[in-house]
Chains A and B, each alone.
Chain A
């Protein structure tokens, strides 16, 4: 298959060898599971259970609310200990409503929904519903409810499904392992998804630094002529949706549009596996593979962990820390979030837990910009980070917006490459927050203005009416007076 170049990008130290040869191991059931109600983009789920209630494995314990949301299920059987606020694996570390489940060790299944017979000929709507009910969200990290993304076929003219197995983030090997060990499930899930989207063709893109995954997937796809497994160049951020679509099709998704606008829907490989399980076996999303790695981890590993297991449980399975980690990261080192602590639970979008040494992070105090142009050369979005940062430093968000800060995908390449170690992405995230806030403020003011105008108009109307009334009264009085006058005259 002919591939197309993407702009810029970097070649960080990948360090995937730390965990790439470790087969997925299941985490023994921890003592407690902490299941946050919000693990996805959209509205949080609503808890359906109370403290003390007994639940079975796979039982719905929180239902989705609204169009963009996802339900939660009990990852194992046990007793609900509490529904309360605990800190979530979010950089703020702010408490979030969470269901605490005490496993009973029996791992007893609830009655699962019937498998969908012959899903490749089933009604797409039925599959979408099943995916929504199973609580599946994008497992590459974005955690966007997958059923919503499987609905794009009804609104866009789609050409193919692009399965993202690029895994371009350093350290992470969970997708690599899933593809190596469960290639058939991934391919089956992908075929079900393609059918649901109403597309014939499937392209599976895998970075060339994963030859075994490429081989396994090519083998599993062998009998399906509609599936193309493609090795893509190792170049961060190849796994960024828009860039991967460009590498495969040569087409550039216009700003403010979706890849669906140019005919492609992108899903992650682990998501495809989850869809396979939901459709073929009726199983909701109860666990995921997490790469635990980094120089400070004694034995890096790929762990299939139930949702809600604490990061500390995973680290313990890896033999704990070999030294004091300088950074704890949720996700990959480029785009991941700082992990507030080891008590944070595993959530559906968590692809990795990294404990990095100071040497790996190589954090240095920021120096002055020497205008070396490295950030300009590597920005995959064609932005000029040095210029945007200069304006953001002066709190000039309007110019930063004109220069395209809202187009920045926060891939981190510029911060990575900057020899002065200027935290460019930090600036951009800050500016995006400010601009969004300003936008909200502007909209609010507009609304207030509209309301005020409406109010004024109403008042004016009232005033006019009152005036008219007064005038009418006056006129009547005058008439009356005139009449009486006349009468007087007459009198």
Chain B
């Protein structure tokens, strides 16, 4: 008789989902918005996007090589592509090439691999990179441009684009403030929100993306569509996006009602900045958000409230990245306090009492 001892436990069937499939689905959800952005911002945007994603993959490969880890499985999970993609979408589209490369080093080498690689990082790599860049290079990182759709009059051709992205020749005239930044600057000059709001694009234009901003904030509707697609595919659940947008909207609406001259309204908060990108694609990052649904709801609400607070009171008009990083640091604690109740036990972990005894 030939019977080899086997010690493997079941199950002997597995879901067909996998990490690469999950990541690819997220990328797929980003494609429409990204394509539209590429159209809006033309060649410079496309070049920066390519540089950023390419740099992230290169840095990932470098880190893996340094750590002596197998390359194929880790690169094949598309997590570095996703990080690069999200980072590119949060940069000013006409920013110079080195922001993408430096961002890749911050995101992949510092925020991810020093923590031990995929799944081990506490902070969202793309947001670490964005914040580090913003703090180090505030001017470059806030040089937003109005959309210059491909093939439209005044849009940079490919060679102009190379000059912009690789030569740092950003034409002065095109730079424009993002809506959030504009309102903030005006407010600091004593101009009430009620007045400055007249000069920001109306909500419809903001939703469609006809305004200055990062790639991720200029295509709100397509980002929303992508987010809903991810929800339908059960890659993400409603808890973080709804918690975050709900909190942001409620805070905005509430304070706007109290003092319309000081505070922008809830709808404006939802439509401006990269709120949708943040709510559906960034705050929902598996690794850096809580694992239980109640925890995710708490996390989302925290992100929403903090985004509002930072946008409203702090020096940076774009609060989302900071808010997400702050909440990332709370994730372990949220996880600890939002564990589900175990079957047959009370919240405290004691066995349930027998009824009637």
Contact = CB atoms under 8 A, between A and B. Distances in A.
Nearest to A11: B15
A261 interface: yes
Contact of A254 (B11, B349, B354): B354
B3 A343 contact: yes
Nearest to B17: A419
A21 B13 CA distance: 22
Interface string A314-352: 000000000000010100011111101101100000000
Contact of A335 (B4, B11, B22): B11
A382 B13 contact: no
A381 B117 CA distance: 30
A10 B230 CA distance: 19
Nearest to A335: B10
A382 B346 CA distance: 11
A407 interface: yes
Contacts, number: 199
Nearest to B118: A368
A200 to B, nearest CB: 19
B18 A421 contact: yes
A362 B16 contact: yes
Given A335-B10, A341-B4, A417 B355 contact: no
B117 A257 contact: no
B14 A364 contact: yes
A364 B18 contact: yes
A485 interface: no
B352 A255 contact: yes
A252 B352 contact: yes
Interface residues of B, number: 51
Interface in A396-420: 402-404, 407, 410, 412, 415-420
Interface in A343-391: 343-344, 354, 356, 360-365, 367-373, 376-377, 379-384, 386-387
B10 A425 contact: yes
B13 A92 contact: no
A402 B214 CA distance: 47
B344 interface: yes
B13 A356 contact: yes
A170 B13 contact: yes
A52 interface: no
B343 A252 contact: yes
B73 A365 contact: yes
Interface residues of A, number: 76
B204 interface: no
A361 B14 contact: yes
Given A370-B118, A420-B19, A412 B345 contact: no
B9 A425 contact: yes
B73 A367 contact: yes
B340 interface: yes
B355 A421 contact: no
Contact of B3 (A242, A344, A361): A344
B350 to A, nearest CB: 8
A383 B12 contact: no
Interface string B1-33: 111111111111111111101100000000000
12 contacts: A91-B6, A93-B4, A242-B343, A338-B12, A340-B5, A360-B13, A361-B13, A364-B18, A367-B73, A367-B77, A370-B118, A382-B341
Closest 4 CB pairs of A and B: A412-B11, A373-B291, A255-B351, A254-B352
